[in-house]
Chains A and B, each alone.
Chain A
Amino acid sequence: MSWQPILLGIQWLFFGYFILIYAVYAGLNVMAMIQIRRYLHIASLTDADNVFSTLDLPISVIVPAYNESSTIITATRAMLQLEYPDYEVLVVNDGSKDDTLEKLKEEFSLQPFPEAYRQRVPCQPVRGVYRSLRYPSLRVVDKENGGSKADAMNAGINACRFPLFCAVDADSVLELDSLRRAVRPFLEDPYVVAAGGTVRIANGCTVRGGFLEKVGLSRNFLARVQVVEYLRAFLFGRMGWDYLNAVLIVSGAFGVFDKEAVVEVGGYNPDAIGEDMELILRLHRLMRAEKRRYKITFVPDPICWTDAPEDLSTLKKQRVRWHHGLAQSLMLHKGLFFRRGGGAVSWLAMPFFYIFELLGPAVEIVGYAFMTVAAIVGWISWEVTGIFFCLAVGLGVLLSTSALLLEEMSFHVYPRMRDLFRLFLVAIVENFGYRQLTVFWRLQGLYGWLRGNKPEWGVMKRSASMAGGE
C-alpha cells in the first residue's frame, strides 16, 4: 500500500485548516469594518449633542478586590470621578489578607451600614456592608473569601441597587466617559443584556490619579506584541461577531450587564476559570432556550486600559489559564453547539471557537511538527513545507496588519507615526517565535484542562505606567 495519498491528504488537511481559519478571520474583518463604520456614524450623531440625557440608566459599578491594598484607593477614587449622571460604586472586599479594607475605611470614612442584604445569586457569607460618609455613592461589601473573582462579583450583584451593573477590575484604568459609552447600547436597544468594552494595553501610557493622561507604546517587546494581539482580539474578533449577534466573550476587565438577566442565569459561576466567558455562554443558552429576543453587544471605543504582563513567566500563566478557561466554558455549554434555533451562536461562533480557538493550538503544533518531519524524511518536498510555513506566517502578519488598519480607520489611538511603524514591525516579528510560543502555552492549557489540573495565578508585576499612577 502506498503512503503517498495519505501523506498528501494530511498535508492538504493542514493547508485547508490554515486557509479556512484565515478565511474566517478575513470574514470577521469585513464584518468588523461594517460594524465599526455603522457604530461611528451613530456615535457621531449622538456625540454632537454632548448633553447627558435624563434617560441614561442608573448603573452600579462593581469592583472586586482581593489583596489590592496598593491600588484600591486610586482605583476607587478614579471610579468616583467618572462622568455619569447616576451611578454607585460598590467595592467588594473578597476577604483580603492585606489591609485593603482598613485603607478603604480610613480613606473614605466608611461606617457600618445595616443593609438588608439579600442573596439572589450564590456567594460566600457577607461580613458587613459599609457606606462612605464622604461619598454617598460609595459602598463597600466585606465578605469571606470565595477563592474566585466570580464569588466576589456575585456578592456585588446581590448588593447593587441599579438595573445595570458594570464589572470592572480594580486595576483597570477607565476613560472618564466609559460608563456613558458602555451604557449607550442599552439605551439604543431595549433587548441588550450585556455590552463589552474594548480593552487596550496601558503599558507605556501615562496614568495619573487612576486616569489615562497620555497614550504611548511600551519599550517592552512583550507588552508591544500584546497591543497588536488586543487590537486583533477586540477590533475584529469581537466586532466581527457583534455583527452576527454572536459575541461569546465580554472581558472581565470591563463589561456592562442587565442585572436581572444575570440573576436569572444564576450569576457568575465561582468554579469557572474564565468566569466572564462562561457567563456570556450561559446568557446565550438561556435566551436561546426560551426563544427570547436579546442582544449581547460590543462597544469598540477604547474605554478600558489594563496592565499587560511584561515577563514570560506571568504571560505564560495568563495564557495557560485563559485557554483552560476557554476549554472549560466551551465544554460546560456544549449544548449550544449546532442547536436548532441557536442562530449564529450555535452554528458559527461555537463551532469556530471549538475547532479553531480551542483545538487550534493542537492542530497548529502538530501541523508544524508534521510538515517539518515530513520534509526531513523526504515524504514531502521542502518547497511544499516552505510554502506552508510562509502561508502560516504571512497570513498571521496580514491579520495583524488588518487590525492596525481597523484601528486607523476608527480611533487613531496611537498618535505618533513612529508608533505605527513599531506596531507594524511587531506584527511581523511576533510571527517568528512569539506566536508559536503562545500556541504552545495554549496547548499546555488544553492539556491541563484535560487532566483536570487547576491553573496557576501569577503574581502580576505592575508596569511602570501603572505604578506611576498610584
Chain B
Amino acid sequence: MAFLLFAIVLGLRASHILNKRHLETLRATWWPIFAETAASEQFAADAVLPPVRARQRLMLLREWSRFRGLVMGQATVSLNTLAGRLDLLPLARRYMHRRSVANRLLGLQVVGQLRDRDSWDAISAAVEDPNIALSVTAATALTDIDPDRAIPRVIPLIGTFVRWPRTQVGRILNRAGPDIVSTRLCREIADAPFDAAILLLQFADSAYAGDINAVAEKLLTTRQEPALLSAALKAARGRICPERVVELTRHDVWYVRMQAATFLGRAGTFEDLGALEPLLSDREWWVRYRAAQALVASPFLGPNALRRIASRQKDQFAHDILQQALAERGLA
C-alpha cells in the first residue's frame, strides 16, 4: 500500500513537472501576444495566431484569464476581442457547468471577464450557491458584466453570506465604484437587521462620505445596540450629530466610548475638547489612549496647551496616557 501511495506521489510529481513544462511553453508563446494585444489600441482582426491544440485549451483559458486579471481599461477590450478569436467563451460557458469546483470557478471568472450577458441567469443562480468560493466568484462576474444590474442583487447578499471573504466583497464594491454602490449600500445599511448592518458598515469606504454620514447619523440617533453604535461611529467620515456623540462618550460600554473618542479626534471641533479630557481617566485603557491621541492630534491645541492639560491631571493614569501620546508625536 505504501509503495502504491509512493507511486502515486511520483506520478503526481511527474505530471506536475510535465504540466509545468507545458505551461512554460504556452506562456512563452502566448504572454507576448497577450501583452502586445493589451498594449495595442485595438486587436488586429487579421493577426496570425499560433495554433492551439485541444489539450492546450484549458491551460490557455487559465492563462488568458490570469493575464486579463492584470490589466484595466482599453486593454481589457482588446484582450476580450482576442478571446473571441480564440473561441474561449463557449469553452468558459461549458466549464461553468462542470462538476469540478475548480473548473466552475474558472468558467465563472472568464464569462465575467468576457462580460457575457447571455450567461447572466446561470451566473445569477450561482450567486446563491452554498459553496462560498463559487458564490463570491459569481457575484464578481455579475459585477464585471453589468455593475448597475449586479450591485442591487449583490449588496443584500453581503449581509446574508457572512462567510464571503471580506477582501473579495471589498474588491467587488470597489470595482463597481461609489456612483453605483453608495446609495444602494447606505439604503441597505439603514434597513438591515443588526448583524447585517454591522457587516455592511465594514464596507463604508465604498460609499460617498455624504451618504455614509447620513446613514451613520440615522443609526446613532435611532438605534441602541452598542456594537451598531460603535460601527456607525467608526464608519462616519464627517462631523455628525455632535450632541449625540458627546453623549456617547459617557456610554456604559467601553468600546462605544472609545469609538466616540476616536470620532471626536477625527471630526471634532474646539467645543468637543471638553468631552475628551474626562476620558483620559476612563477605567478602560483603550478609551484613555484614544482620547489622548485625539487631544494630541487636535489642531486646536499646541504642545504647551497639551502639557498644561497633562500637568493638571490628578489621575496618574490620565497623566501617563497623555505623556505617551505626546511622546508618540515627539512632543514629550
Residues of chain A at the chain B interface (Cβ within 8 Å): 41-42, 44-46, 48-49, 53-56, 113-116, 118, 120, 131, 184, 187-190, 394, 397-398, 400-402, 404-405, 408-409, 412, 417, 420, 424, 427-428
* Interface pair B166/A41, CB less than 8 Å apart: no
- How far, in Å, is B258 (CB) from chain A's closest CB? 12
Among residues 199 to 240 in chain B, which have CB atoms less than 8 Å away from a CB atom of chain A?
199, 202, 205
* Interface pair B12/A408, CB less than 8 Å apart: yes
* Interface pair A55/B16, CB less than 8 Å apart: no
Contacts of B162 in A (CB 8 A): 190
* Interface pair A48/B69, CB less than 8 Å apart: yes
Known contacts A41-B102, A188-B165: A54-B285 contact under CB 8 Å? no
* Interface pair A53/B285, CB less than 8 Å apart: no
Contacts of B205 in A (CB 8 A): 54
* Interface pair B5/A405, CB less than 8 Å apart: yes
* Interface pair A404/B170, CB less than 8 Å apart: no
* Interface pair B69/A398, CB less than 8 Å apart: no
Q: Mark B8-25, 1 if CB is under 8 A from A, else 0.
A: 111011001000000000
Residues of chain B at the chain A interface (Cβ within 8 Å): 1-2, 5-6, 8-10, 12-13, 16, 66, 69, 101-102, 105, 132-133, 136-137, 162-163, 165-168, 170-171, 199, 202, 205, 285, 288-289, 317, 320-321, 323-324, 327, 332
Contacts of A189 in B (CB 8 A): 163
Total A-B pairs in contact (CB under 8 Å)? 97
* Interface pair A113/B168, CB less than 8 Å apart: no
* Interface pair A408/B13, CB less than 8 Å apart: yes
Pick the contact of B2: A118, A131, A428 (CB < 8 A): A428
* Interface pair B324/A114, CB less than 8 Å apart: yes
- How far, in Å, is B171 (CB) from chain A's closest CB? 6
* Interface pair A412/B324, CB less than 8 Å apart: no
* Interface pair B167/A114, CB less than 8 Å apart: no
* Interface pair A113/B170, CB less than 8 Å apart: no
A-B CB proximity, top 5 nearest: A116-B320, A116-B321, A116-B324, A118-B285, A401-B5
Question: Complex formed: what's the CA distance from A397 to B2 in Å?
Answer: 6
Question: Complex formed: what's the CA distance from A76 to B323 in Å?
Answer: 27
Question: Complex formed: what's the CA distance from A116 to B321 in Å?
Answer: 5
Question: Complex formed: what's the CA distance from A48 to B133 in Å?
Answer: 13
- How far, in Å, is A416 (CB) from chain B's closest CB? 10
Known contacts A41-B133, A46-B165, A190-B162: A405-B13 contact under CB 8 Å? no
Q: List 25 A-B contacts (CB under 8 A).
A: A41-B102, A42-B165, A44-B105, A45-B136, A45-B137, A46-B168, A48-B66, A53-B166, A53-B170, A54-B205, A55-B166, A55-B167, A113-B324, A113-B327, A114-B320, A118-B285, A190-B162, A398-B5, A400-B2, A401-B6, A404-B5, A405-B12, A408-B16, A412-B13, A412-B16
Question: Complex formed: what's the CA distance from A131 to B328 in Å?
Answer: 9
